[in-house]
Amino acid sequence: MTSSDPIVEALGAAGYRLTGPRRAVAGLIAEYDGHFTAAELEIAARERRLGVSRATLFRALELLTELHVVERLDLPSGEHAYVPCVREHHHHLVCSRCGRVADVEDGALADAVAEIARRSGYRIESHRLELFGLCRHCQAKAGPSA
């Protein structure tokens, strides 16, 4: 089987071994549109009897985070979640109802950040913008005023 899965490909390209557990985790992640937590993945893995231990699951997530294939997200609730994502610098727009995640380009934000750097005198090395709201779908369900 050729690795049609981009996550598996990223692992291979970075020189990591393409092991069964890693493929399994990659497969699970590929199914998510929105964010997922480590606990959710663990349950999903257990249900399908993928035989991935918790330690391995966390190791895989750590690895994938390092490769920028998934990104770690801090929800307003304080929970940690992960989102599968593209590798370029970008931000996340998270639906607070259904969890769906949209990627947002840096766009106008880069200018705002440059402006902040100028005014503050800081040399800005990185920034992270997290946006929370309702996606179109959930707005429709919730009604226009809710």
- Check binding of 112 to a second copy (CB under 8 A): yes
Q: Which of 1, 47, 123, 145 binds a second copy (CB under 8 A)?
A: 123
CA dist 54 → 59, 81, 135, 144 (Å): 9, 16, 32, 42
Tell which positions 40-99 bind a second copy, by CB under 8 A.
72, 74, 76, 78, 80, 93, 95-96
Measured CA angle at 114 (ends 110, 116), to 5 deg:
115
Place of tokens 């309702």: 134
Query: Which one of a second copy, DNA, none interacts with residue 98, CB within 5 to 8 A by kind?
Result: none
Identity of the residue, 50 or 75, whose beta carbon is nearer to a second copy in the bound complex: 75
Is residue 29 a contact partner of residue 36, using CB atoms and an 8 Å limit?
yes
Binding site for DNA (CB under 7 A): 12, 16-22, 37-39, 51-56, 58-60, 62, 80
